Amino acid sequence: MPYTVDFNTVSTVGLESSPVAAALAGLRANEARYFKNKYDHVFTVEPASEAQTTVDWVHRILKEERDIVISSRPLEATAFQVKNIRMAYLFYESGLSINVMYTVDDPTKRAVGFKLSEGMEVPEELASRFKFARQKSKLAGTIRGSYFTLKNEY
């Protein structure tokens, strides 16, 4: 069942099994606020088990582009389009969030982003491949993030 993310009242609904559930909920709320403010889009998520197409799409991109397999279990997922950008998000039990930004009409503006919730370690499968920049968020504390651009079509 879809869950509308409220960035005014941060909730851990759907994320309770994460050891950093509160920070992950703040990270999820931070994304919801961004999309509401920038695109007037209401950010909804659903259990990853009910969004297998989205999970498979993101995991395929990670595997084919960089041979990355995330060991943590995805808890929630969402996929939507704003303007000409197809977006997909996965929120993992470890506190990791992965998003795919895929412009439908401009192959030079396609990327995968990683965000780490406050309090989590950098996942082993990402640690040697990416440097993470820090960003402060009122909702999520300190977020560490990195990204790579896509080379292929998906």
Residues 78-118: pLDDT tens digits?
Answer: 999 999 999 999 999 999 999 999 999 998 899 999 999 99
136, β-bridge pairs:
142
Mean pLDDT of the chain: 96
pLDDT greater than 90 at residue 52:
yes
Residue 99 lies in a domain: yes
Tokens of 129: 């491949």
In a domain, 154, yes or no: no
Strands 96-103 and 141-149: unpaired
Domain that holds residue 68: 3-149
What domain count does the chain have? Answer: 1
pLDDT at position 133 over 90:
yes
Pick the closest to residue 110 from 85, 129, 133, 144 (CA basis).
Answer: 85
Structure confidence at residue 69 as a pLDDT band (50, 70, 90) = very high
pLDDT on residue 1: 80
